[in-house]
Amino acid sequence: MALRKTSKPLLLLSQEPSIWRRFLSRLDIATPPLPRFTPYTVQPPDLKVEQMVATAISVNRNWEKSDPEPVSYFRVRSGCKILDMTVLPGGQYVVSSSFDYRAGYRVMVSNVELPSNDGMFALASISTLARPEYLQARFMVYNDKPGIMLWFIVKTKVGKSLDGTDNLDPSTRRVGYTCHFAYISLESLQSLVMIELPRPMPLEDLDRYGLTNPDAPAPSDKITTSAPFLLLRPYTFRDPVHDPVLFMSSGSLYLSLAILPDEVVVINLDTQEARSFICNNDTPYPEFDHQIRAVRVLPKQGDVLVIRTVINGLNDVHVMEIYSLPPATGRYRGSAKHRVVVEHKQVDSFQLSDSYNQEYPTSHPPPPISVYFETASPHGVIHYTISPSLHSAVGISHQWWCYNLNNVVAQTTFNAEHVVRVLPGVNRAIICTLHPDENHRATNYVTAIRRYFNPEKRFDDLLSFGGKDLIPSKQSCRWRPKHVYRTFNISPHIMECVNRQDITAFAWDETTGRMCFATRNDMCIHVFDFGSTALPRDHIGRWNSLKSILRIDQPIHGAPESPPSDAEMAAVEDLLEPDDLYI
């Protein structure tokens, strides 16, 4: 990157996406789809790759310090109450569910870096009749096009009434749990951002223009969507579902979820084939009820990681198990191949890390799976890791990586005075400590934000020599920060202002270190950046300003050119002033 101005080959090499894709994959962080490279052009997407690399290095340096701190802070107006949100890798796109008493419930995709004068607007949205739950989003390739795939669950009234009659009253019908899927291509999102389109008006201005008609017909039970979204076939379940996850395997799109209390379902969304299995209660406590708390499919090895809780009335017992996927479509019963029992822990929720990079060569192991126990009585976090190991079979020459519960290791334990919430990443996490407000019990105040390093992870990106803040890990020639838990040095005044606005949701992006807080009172998204880099649109805007002032691109050949005025030359000198932006 430093020598690319010396020769054309280095310039072309620095803009090749495969170089940066391999570099980012060595960091084991989530990577968004990289833009296509067009030689001999300078477009805003061309600088996005370099911005990503510079930000990743800046985040690592900040997290290695014993006193990490945010680099920048800003806020954008959302115009509605955000209930839940997800920040996609790259920190640019935010998928959120919102509610407005005029517009109802919505799921929308927004660009937090390009707000309008009225605040952040939705590039695409989906309207629902009930609150979306389990909202998740991920970059995926669908129909050979990279884009954003999002999914959520909505409770609806389905089937006949509870007494078996066809009563038209919806309140008497049984509740169904419908899982919806929506896809939007990155090409559509970029066209909505780059082209000057009419900006959607804020939700609170709908009635000003007469768009909220009280005499309008009632909406249907189906969700409505804007044009860029492609809706996939939804699935409705009569029993409560938990932890839905989409993943790709062998070029097909799959859905995995748990039907409470003890069934795991895996559906191929391309062929509509479903297979499921019921977990047998063959644990050391077969006489008590078991309930699934988390499910993750391991597609490379054809197994499923299941975490269940044994409800015995005294002290909860938790089991981590690995099951084999059913060989064909249908419903089966299964017993765990491996099992680990954790006793005497009262756990509010389980958080599992998710590896975004599914392709790993045999020489480079995939990252370990982190399992975070958010405990109560006392409040705290217990961190377990499941490390991969090489496996081979008779008659097969090559080896492959598999996750085995024989490699489960308890890493660290963190105790706090208040409620703790974990935002897991691939190799690191953010831990927030929440304190209920005495005046508003529904409001949670964030008292501390901590960064956490996995102590046994091999950090290939820490290539610097061992300093006073780095110590060797158990692997030879590897370094990690000495302090695994460190609190971010955030201004108390800023945190008090954010807490005063009533935090409703927060999310974190591991790639850029960007953390977002959604607040209800001011209807804003407060953004903390823990990595610094130059914004590509600043460079492009500066170049366009120079062209307009210096009249580089004259529309008519041979048109008379007047010399620039003193004011124009002064503006050019201001634009050419060196700044502190760096890559």
Domain-embedded: residue 76: yes
Stretch 276-282: mean pLDDT, rounded? 93
Say if residue 211 is in the same domain as residue 143. yes
Say if residue 166 is in the same domain as residue 149. yes
Out of 518, 533, 548, pick the residue that ends a domain.
533
Stretch 193-210: mean pLDDT, rounded? 41
| Predicted local confidence at residue 391, as pLDDT | 81
Question: Where residue 557 falls among pLDDT bands split at 50, 70, 90?
Answer: very low
| Predicted local confidence at residue 381, as pLDDT | 93
DSSP conformational letter for 414: E
Q: Kindly report the backbone phi and psi dihedral angles of residue 500, in degrees, each rounded to the nearest multiple of 5, phi listed first.
A: -65, -20
Say if residue 46 is in the same domain as residue 125. no
pLDDT at 547 over 60: no
Q: Which two three-digit tokens encode residue 298?
A: 């391991």
pLDDT in tens, 402-415: 898 988 988 888 88
Output the CA angle 495-496-498, nearest 5 degrees.
65
Max avg pLDDT among 113-117, 217-221, 535-539, 555-559: 113-117
Domain-embedded: residue 362: no
Say if residue 169 is in the same domain as residue 214. yes
Which residues, in sequence order, are CB contacts of 359 under 8 Å at separation 6+?
A: none
Domain of residue 168, residue span? 69-238+502-533
The residue ranking higher by pLDDT, 227 or 358, is 227
Out of 25, 42, 64, pick the residue that ends a domain.
64
Say if residue 77 is in the same domain as residue 221. yes
Domain-embedded: residue 460: no
| Predicted local confidence at residue 217, as pLDDT | 42
pLDDT in tens, 413-423: 888 888 899 99
Say if residue 176 is in the same domain as residue 95. yes
Say if residue 561 is in the same domain as residue 577. yes
Out of 10, 30, 64, pick the residue that ends a domain.
64
Stretch 117-139: mean pLDDT, rounded? 87
Say if residue 223 is in the same domain as residue 75. yes
Least confident of 139-143, 285-289, 315-319, 569-573: 569-573
Say if residue 87 is in the same domain as residue 221. yes
Percent of the chain with pLDDT over 90: 36
Question: Is 404 buried (19+), middle (13-18) or exposed (0-12) by CB count in 10 A?
Answer: middle
Say if residue 29 is in the same domain as residue 174. no
Q: What gap in Å lies between CA 148 and CA 189, rounded to an integer?
A: 9
Stretch 281-293: mean pLDDT, rounded? 90
| Predicted local confidence at residue 244, as pLDDT | 95
Domain-embedded: residue 413: no
Say if residue 115 is in the same domain as residue 229. yes
Which residues, in sequence order, are CB contacts of 397 under 8 Å at separation 6+?
A: none
Domain-embedded: residue 361: no
Domain-embedded: residue 352: no
Say if residue 38 is in the same domain as residue 177. no
Domain-embedded: residue 195: yes
Which residues, in sequence order, are CB contacts of 414 under 8 Å at separation 6+?
A: 380, 381, 382, 383, 420, 431, 452, 485
Domain-embedded: residue 141: yes
The residue ranking higher by pLDDT, 270 or 41, is 270
Helix (H) or strand (E) holding 364: none
Number of domains observed in the structure of the chain? 3
| Separation in Å, CA 468 to CA 335, 465, 474, 479, 481 | 49, 10, 18, 11, 9
| Predicted local confidence at residue 137, as pLDDT | 94
